[in-house]
Amino acid sequence: MSKLVPPHGGKGLVCCLLEGDALKAELEKAKGLKQVEISSRAKGDLIMMGIGGFSPLDGFMGKADWKSVCENMLLADGTFWPVPITLDISAEDAAAIKPGQEVALVRNGETMATMKVDEIYEMDEAAKKFECENVFKGHGEDSEKFWDVAPTDHPGVKMVLAQKPFNMAGKVKVLSQGEFPVKFKGVYKTPAELRAEIEKRGWSKVAALQLRNPMHRSHEYLAKLAVEVCDGVVIHSLVGALKPGDIPAEVRVKCIDTLIDKYFVKENVIQAGYPLDMRYAGPREGLLHATFRQNYGVNRQIIGRDHAGVGDFYGMFEAQEIFDKIPQPAEEGKRLLCEPLKIDWTFYCVKCDGMASMRTCPHSKEDRVILSGTKLRKFLSEGKEIPDHFGRPEVLTILRAYYEGLTEKVEIKMQKAASGASM
């Protein structure tokens, strides 16, 4: 009997990935189906449905699920789910495809899945704005002037507004895990694989650290705090697509390997990767991270300052506060069982002579080295000196080598929290 938290939804791991003879047969059948080109985001979503990471989802959402998730963070059947998982298609494809038809979902020449189409529904400008306001709007300064700045400054909003004008819904049969098992061999893990590794170690209380930036001292501190109160921590990196200016997964994985090797008790930490693209949905994305990590066997999601945020769209601890406001379905299997591990703003304090937080350090911000992934990327991209105690020297060596090799650099916009102005 597993000691780990059960998968979300009450149905066990719902895996849509075909294998063996069934996979071969479906790939052959797909050759004769209408081909629908999908986005990078949809590719990651498909893989997560394939490996059980999005349990209990077995396909892209229809209009009823989409609307209910946007408004209430619930699927139409009452299961908690915080972010829409939808597949956008062109007007031409919408006109050519009928409900009941089977289609092949293709990304850059690779057949990723087949779908039995249940529904096609229009996403006009009003519908896209409805999704953006419900999913991406927060309580930070930028959200007070949301439609003045979000269409140009919020990558998640830009992504939704740029979607094709229809969504197509239906159950999927997933035919590929893309490049991830080979490109990130040993790091990329399915929920079943990670659960097996966690159980082999005898853990039952498991925390996850979400990463889309290279690990700096604050990340390291968060992970070690989690190890102190749990059996172990999973450093769980996004290895899908990011916005321009973010650091590629290969570089981040190398940094984490170096940190684990030199600064962690290896028996208490696992590095793993998952195949999604970032949505930059702030608090809602924090909930999504907890939801799919429950499927990976994690029951505590570390939530620090500005989790999954962008710009100044969200309050510094809005991603912590949202966990106290989510719906609680009567049926346990439909509730979110992965709880937040809320940790205050962390930094290095010169007077404390160590890592600290707003709860433990009595000193002024002049005594503190304010740590953030955005600030680190900005310093590196501009060739500036990195302040003492910001990152481990071995990691900074890797990052400097990456930035020195870039031929084009993206301007990094600093939000107030990352600069320490809000402290």
Q: Point out the catalytic residue in the list 41, 167, 195, 213.
A: 213
**Cβ-based burial of 111 (10 A; exposed 0-12, middle 13-18, buried ≥19):** middle
- Report the candidate in 358, 409, 356, 365 with the shortest Cα–Cα distance to residue 383: 409
Cα 23 from chain centre: 28
Contact 283, 322 (CB under 8 A): yes
Known catalytic residue: 72? no
**Cβ-based burial of 189 (10 A; exposed 0-12, middle 13-18, buried ≥19):** buried
* Residue 164 in tokens: 């094709």
- Report the candidate in 329, 239, 328, 336 with the shortest Cα–Cα distance to residue 290: 336
End-to-end Cα, the chain, rounded Å: 47
* Residue 378 in tokens: 């900005």
Known catalytic residue: 213? yes
Q: Point out the catalytic residue in the list 41, 107, 212, 293.
A: 212
In the sheet that holds 339-342, the strands lie side by side as 269-274, 232-238, 206-211, 300-303, 339-342
SS3 336: coil
* Residue 69 in tokens: 């998730």
Contact 347, 219 (CB under 8 A): no
Around 251, how many Cα atoms within 13 Å sit in the side-chain half-sphere? 18
Q: Please, what's the b/e burial string for 331-367 (b: 16 or more CB within 10 A of its CB; e: otherwise)? A: eebbbbbbebbbbbbbbbbeeeeebbbeeebeeeeee
* Residue 98 in tokens: 């009928």
Which of the residues are catalytic? 212-213
